[in-house]
Structure 1
Amino acid sequence: MRALFVGGVVDNSEMDMEGGQPPVHYPEDTGGGHSRYRLHQIGKQADGTVAYAVYGAPDMADEEVARVADERAYARRFEAEAELFVH
């Protein structure tokens, strides 16, 4: 699974993630009270496999993260169906 980041200091960055389900926040637990990136969108392939997860910066509106993810065409790139992650 690929983690994709929108906004903040790591905007437009990517990294590989282990596991079948992405964590709700990245990093999962800083322990320092710092704001973390929040999961906004999951891209699933036809067989149900999670291909990617889109994380938005703490100060970004949901609509803006969705707009940027659509603009960057993550679903097409990973041949997946985008699903909004409901918190």
Structure 2
Amino acid sequence: MRALFVGGTVDNSELDLSVDRPPLHYPENTGGGHSRYRLHHVGLRDEGEIAYAVYASPELADEMVSNVSDERRYPSRFQATPALMAR
């Protein structure tokens, strides 16, 4: 699964995650009690497999994160459908 970042200091960065389910925050434990990124949505393939996870800066509005994801063509790039994560 690929982690994709929107906003913040690592905007437009990517990395591989070797997990079955993406963590709700990235990094999971910053030690300061404040997460740098929150899981915004995942891209699901037909079989239910998570192809990618979009992490966003906490201050970004959902609409902006979705727009950036669409502009960067994450759904078509990974052949997956975006699914918002409950907060």
TM-score normalised by the shorter chain: which range applies?
over 0.9
Contiguous gaps of at least 5 residues in structure 1: none
Number of the residue aligned with 1:85: 85
For 1:30, the aligned partner's letter is T
1:2/1:17 contact within 8 Å kept: yes
What is the DSSP-based 3-state SS (H/G/I as helix, E as strand, rest coil) of the residue aligned with 2:5? strand
For 1:60, the aligned partner's letter is L
Number of the residue aligned with 1:69: 69
Aligned residues: 87
Which aligned runs of 4 or more in structure 1 are off by greater than 4 angstroms? none
Number of the residue aligned with 2:23: 23
Alignment map for 1:37-56 (pairs within 5 Å): 37-56=37-56
What is the DSSP-based 3-state SS (H/G/I as helix, E as strand, rest coil) of the residue aligned with 1:67? helix
Could you tell me how far apart the structure 2 residues matched to 1:26 and 1:76 are? 24
TM-score, structure 1 normalization? 0.93
For 1:37, the aligned partner's letter is Y
TM-score, structure 2 normalization? 0.93
Alignment RMSD (CA, Å) = 1.0
